[in-house]
Structure 1
Amino acid sequence: METRQRTDPRATFGRALRGHRRDALLTQGELAAKAGLGVRTLSDLERGTSGPRPATAALLCAALGLGHPDAERFHALARAGWRAARG
Structure 2
Amino acid sequence: MEDVVDTLIPYVLKDYPEACVCPKCIDDIKALTLNNVPQHYVVTEKGEALTKARMLSSQFKADVLKEISISIKTVSKNPRHPLSEKVVSND
TM-score normalised by L of structure 1: 0.29
TM-score normalised by L of structure 2: 0.29
